Structure 1
Amino acid sequence: MKTRSVWTYRLIFAALAAAILFFALLPFGSGPGAIPGPELTVCLIAAWALRRPDYVPVWLLVLMLLLDDFLLMRPLGLWTLIVLLMSEYLRRRVDHAEALPFWSEVALVSGCIAAAFVANHLALVLLLAETPPLLGQALHALATIVFYPPTAIFSQLIGVRRLAPGELDSLGTRA
């Protein structure tokens, strides 16, 4: 795969993450008692990290996630660290995940998303920070899990596919 193609997909990822952030900043349904929406950036990161980890390098993830933290007024760096650890776990599972059927992949990512939300909540509690309601966080995690399959299918449709057996990524490695 040519370097130009890798950079094209990195730009596509950045544009998609920026579009998700833009719509997250719009004041739709953000009142008290509103049902929280999904964390689509996390879905996108998980789908791309499992399929083509060379398209989402760590520096790009840190940049996009810190921008999310700044603009969405979350504790700076906490969610970034948790999602980065999740993406690195998924990145290390690329060789194992290529043999998984789609619904097993969804189960793996669902467990990672649930663990990320639990880790975020526990970290906020341990730091004595203000925590959102637990039911709201559970619904937020559930919405994110529900939106992972469409995000993975969308990623496949725009060309972010798994490497075939024996195929090398842009860095000349298996993954």
Structure 2
Amino acid sequence: MALRTIWTYRLLFVVISFVLLFFALLPFSTGEGRLPAPDLMMCLVFAWILRRPDYVPLWLLVPLLLLDDALLMRPLGVWTLVVMLASEYLRRRVDHTQAQTFWSEMVLVSGLIAGTFLANHVVLLLLLAETAPILGQVLHATATIVFYPLTVLFSQLVGVRRLAPGELDSLGTRA
């Protein structure tokens, strides 16, 4: 039963990722001067990893991020690497035995989101690749931070929640 639940949530993660990618590809507004949309994929990854890291293994995350890079015409692998490193940092910080308040999670994730956008920008500058204006990157990061709580709420609604102390995760370790 537990294995079926894990695979159900992994499949749900893939489906939600494809839906987010589909809407990211739609041309909602073609004019200049519009506000950048949040990176909902990154919000989803961070929210799920902080709640149930076993639902989003690295082997599932990397192909989805690479597909995002390819279809959104970003330099292939740069954003994937930055988000992967950030998600692995969060995965290592998950401690099911200690209750973390939502506000401390928000501070951690906000700093990490800002750091990922900054790291991506610096790597692109070092590679002499074309970069977006820094103000656009700041607005993109801010929009992503603003949408993170909504992503957490959505994750709670679909059943992705933190393990309670004493519960066993999919690997049989006690939370």
Quickly name the TM-score band, shorter chain normalised: over 0.9
Tell me the C-alpha RMSD between the 2 structures: 1.4
Equivalent in the alignment of 2:31: 31
Distance 1:170 1:104 in 2: 26
TM-score, L = length of structure 1: 0.96
Q: Please give the secondary structure, in 2, of the residue aligned with 1:128.
A: coil
Equivalent in the alignment of 1:123: 123
Any idea what the Cα deviations from partners look like across 1:97-127, whole Å, max 9, x if unmatched? 9521111111111111000000000001111
* Superposed counterparts of 1:12-161, under 5 Å: 12-95=12-95, 98-161=98-161
Any idea what the Cα deviations from partners look like across 1:44-87, whole Å, max 9, x if unmatched? 00000000000000011101100000100101001001001111
Q: Percent identity at matched positions?
A: 70
Aligned length: 175
Change beyond 3 A, Cα 1:84–1:30:
farther
Runs of 4+ in 1 over 4 A off after TM superposition: none
Change beyond 3 A, Cα 1:30–1:86:
farther
Change beyond 3 A, Cα 1:86–1:97:
farther
Gaps of 5+ in 1: none
Gaps of 5+ in 2: none
Contact 2:110 2:145 in 1 (8 A): yes
**Deviation of 1:174 (Å):** 4.7
Q: Please give the secondary structure, in 2, of the residue aligned with 1:147.
A: helix
Amino acid paired to 1:14? V
